[in-house]
Amino acid sequence: MTDISVVVPLFNEEESLPELTAWIDNVITKEKLSYEVILVDDGSSDNSWEVIKKLRVDKPQVKGIRFRRNYGKSAALYSGFRAAKGNVVITMDADLQDSPEEIPELFKMIAVDKFDMVSGWKKKRYDSFIKNKTSKFYNATARVVSGIKLHDFNCGLKAYQKKVVKSIEVYGEMHRYIPILAKNAGFKKIGEKVVLHQARKYGKTKFGLERFINGFLDLLSITFISKFGKKPMHFFGLMGTLMFFIGLVAAAIVGINKLVLIAREVAAPRVTESPYFYLALTAMIIGTQLFMTGFIAELVSRSSAERNAYQIEEEAFD
């Protein structure tokens, strides 16, 4: 049985792979643990795959998965998780900014201290000023929204119990929120470890402004899905009912005001001349649309093949 699976997603990292795999081998061999390294080539345009094949000849522990095109880090992690056989699964980036020297302690926190998951915290970073500041803002927002007290959600260096990676589905750009996915799957013992962050030695960073923007959009998506994925009517129905009720009350006030003026024999303008009438009408229309959206979403949810897909820890029968 394999003790550790190291999953490494990569994109155009041919220069760093020999050094990384040798470093991992040196660290884990000292601990006398069995291991495998799963290198997931996310559609690299350089010679990364050729390097992986050469490494596998010398080191049978090195395994490779190659995508036909670039799908993104989440897809690479998902494929690596599916292939992993180790009792403890550790993820790290291929650019040598994550240190394999952290592996023994991460393994101990999972295997001995029984954490479900441990996330690295790059307390001292060798990144640009903009990336540092945006990362801190993004992590603060994620902490508030998720309730998980981690300093670095997006750190590539993480460790998991095998059952955690087999229970979650990483897709889109959700690799940033694996701690949230794990929590939603029922794994609540999530720890954190300060890890060494090193300056990039080869290649160039894949960070861009679009990743920062997409990160917040994904945070909204995963928060909504985790709370209302199986009960969309609770959100859209409530919002729709409130909007319709507000519009109805506003329309009633406009109508009553008209009747009061008539009763006092005061010249009253037409109801349709009041801007409040149109605001009330718009609110009722939006409320109806939100309610119908919730109703349709509920029908789709009830028809889903995964409507009763729940995470079962264990079973016992007489």
pLDDT score for 309? 53
Give the N- to C-terminal CA distance of the chain in Å, as an integer. Answer: 31
- Percent of the chain at pLDDT > 70 equals 86
What local confidence, expressed as pLDDT, does residue 127 receive? Answer: 63
Does 111 have pLDDT greater than 90? Answer: yes
Q: Higher model confidence: residue 47 or residue 307?
A: 47
Question: For 140-195, how does the pLDDT look when each residue is reduced to its tens digit (9 = 90+)?
Answer: 888 887 888 898 888 999 999 999 999 998 887 788 889 988 998 889 999 999 99
Q: What is the mean pLDDT of the chain?
A: 86
* pLDDT (tens digit per residue) in 215-261: 677 777 777 777 776 788 888 888 999 999 999 999 998 888 888 88
pLDDT of residue 268: 74
Closest of 185, 33, 47, 43 to residue 105, by C-alpha? 33
Q: Which run of H or of E encompasses 56?
A: helix 48-58
* Burial call 101-128: b when 16+ CB within 10 Å, e when fewer: ebbeebbebbbeeebbbbbbbbeebebe
Task: List Cβ neighbours of 153 (8 Å cut-off, separation of 6 or more).
Answer: 119, 138, 139, 142, 176, 177, 179, 180
pLDDT of 90 > 60? The answer is: yes
Spatial distance between the Cα atoms of 141 and 166, rounded to a whole number of angstroms: 27
Predicted local distance difference test score (pLDDT) of residue 282 = 94
Question: How far is residue 298's CA from residue 293's CA, in Å, rounded to a whole number?
Answer: 8
- In this prediction the pTM is 0.74
Q: Which CATH superfamily is domain 4-228 in?
A: Spore Coat Polysaccharide Biosynthesis Protein SpsA; Chain A (3.90.550.10)
Domain positions in the chain are 4-228, 233-303
Phi–psi pair at 40, nearest 5 degrees? -105, 105
User: Does residue 107 register a pLDDT over 60?
Assistant: yes
* pLDDT above 80 for 10: yes
The pLDDT, as a whole number, for residue 175 is 87
Query: Quick one: pLDDT at residue 316?
Result: 58
Secondary structure class of 18 (helix, strand, coil): helix
